[in-house]
Amino acid sequence: MSPDKLVYMANQIGKFFAHEGETQAARSVATHLRRYWDPRMRRALLAHYDSGGAGLDPIVRRAVESLKEDAPTM
C-alpha cells in the first residue's frame, strides 16, 4: 500500500477521534492502529514517519510516536 494511502487512512482515523481532545485522540488512534491495522501497514506508516511523515496530522503524529515504542514487537 502506498504511503499516501496510509497517510490518508490514518488521518481519517484521527479526524474520527478528534472530538476526544488531542491527547486522548492520539491514544485512541494508536489503539485503533494496533488493533486493526496489519503489522505490515503499521511498519510502512512508521517508515513514512521516520522519513519525515509528510502529510500526517498532529494527532496522528502523536499516535505514531507511541507506536514507535512498540516497533520491536510489531
Q: Is pLDDT at 74 greater than 60 in this prediction?
A: no
Tell me the mean pLDDT in the region 25-43.
97
Instruction: Place 64 in a pLDDT band, splitting at 50, 70 and 90.
Output: very high
Q: Is pLDDT at 2 greater than 70 in this prediction?
A: yes
> In the chain, what are the domain boundaries?
3-73
The grid coordinates listed for 10 are 490514518
What is the tens place of the pLDDT at every residue in 10-33? 999 999 999 999 999 999 999 999
pLDDT at 38: 96
Other CB atoms within a 10 A radius of the CB of residue 58 amount to 12
